[in-house]
Amino acid sequence: MGDERRRAAVVAAQSEAVAAQSEASEASEASVLVVGALGRMGECVRAALEGHSELRLGAALERPGHPQIGHELEGGVCVTDDVKAAFASVVVAIDFSVPSSTLANLRTAADAGVAYVTGTTGFDAAGRAEVAELATRVPVVHAANFSLSVNVFAWLAREAAAKLGPDFDAELFELHHAAKRDAPSGTALWLAAAIAEGREQTLGDQLVLERAGDIGPRPKGTIAIQTLRGGDSPGEHTVMFIGQGERIELSHKSHTRDHFAKGAVKAATWLVGRKPGLYAIETVLGLD
Ligand code: NAD
């Protein structure tokens, strides 16, 4: 065999080995459906999946009528509005969309045996109850906030509330971008719940969302949330414990959405192969 042919044979063998390796690694990576794939969070989740060692984008679902249905994304995956096809070949879904879409797609996931991670906020009590009901059939993580540091923030708020008690008035404010649909944010409600838990109160009895007019003195023990909207902020939350002559302020400010996406991808990796159930993000992050 001449040098030329030998070199060609070596190159061919090397390419075959690389192709076999990449096929093997594709086969060992779990296939993920991103619901709301072209939304602000969907884009960040897809970016977090790129180059991931255990997960890869397998399907991208968008709302019917979205102008980019059929558009090809990374890995040759095309945006679809065909729910059945989207769930056909995936083992886990990551969904940041709207409550009606999340409930409809979670029902399909339960029928198809697909694990489900969702960060969608703005559910009413009936919606939350249905998520819990569907989680008896497939493993689900539903979190108002996937950021590690916001989870630590909630823990700090719970601990502070337990130590300070209701003599320190608890006030929260949140700021989000102008396009956010639900108010107050899911994270603000979750922080308020953490404060109530720390004080051994029931949040529903104490929550104040509106103040206007002659409101009279502040009822002792209440937990109030004020909502601010504007610009492009991915999210800011401040909790104040206001006493006589002093106060504590705890704040978290997001500069990007990447940490939410990373947390959701981590949850998806953790969830694959688990038994059905509604798992807490604190468990996924090893905080409980
Ligand atoms: P967005 O509006 O940018 O994206 C939502 C996407 O869902 C859009 O692309 C929309 O077309 C798509 N969608 C709507 N109906 C659909 C359907 N039936 N099927 C498939 N896709 C559908 O919103 P966003 O800023 O990405 O936020 C989405 C949700 O995630 C909100 O509820 C927000 O509060 C929440 N969020 C949660 C976290 C967290 O850490 N848990 C972080 C950020 C945002």
Taking only the tens place, the pLDDT of each residue in 29-68 is 899 999 999 999 999 999 999 999 999 999 999 999 999 9
- 262 is known as an active-site residue: no
> What is the pLDDT at residue 16?
52
> What is the pLDDT at residue 15?
46
pLDDT in tens, 188-230: 999 999 999 999 999 999 999 999 999 999 999 999 999 999 9
Q: How far is the CA of 115 from the centre of ligand 1 (A)?
A: 18
Over residues 67-85, the mean pLDDT reads 98
> What is the pLDDT at residue 5?
61
> What is the pLDDT at residue 29?
86
Instruction: Choose, from 66, 84, 142, 176, the residue flagged as catalytic.
Output: 176
Q: How many CA atoms lie within 13 A of 92 on its CB side?
A: 27
> What is the pLDDT at residue 46?
98
Whether residue 108 has its Cβ less than 6 Å from ligand 1: no
> What is the pLDDT at residue 17?
40
Q: Is the pLDDT of residue 72 over 80?
A: yes
CA distance 261 to 116: 14
Over residues 178-193, the mean pLDDT reads 97
- The answer to whether 115 and 268 have CB atoms below 8 angstroms apart is yes
Q: How far is the CA of 226 from the centre of ligand 1 (A)?
A: 22
Q: Is the pLDDT of residue 27 over 80?
A: no
Whether residue 107 has its Cβ less than 6 Å from ligand 1: no
Over residues 128-146, the mean pLDDT reads 98
CA distance 179 to 185: 12
- Ligand 1 atom closest to Cα of residue 43: 26
Question: pTM of the predicted model, to two decimals?
Answer: 0.89
- The answer to whether 263 and 148 have CB atoms below 8 angstroms apart is yes
Radius of gyration (C-alpha) of the chain in whole angstroms: 23
State the pLDDT confidence band at 6, using cuts at 50, 70 and 90: low
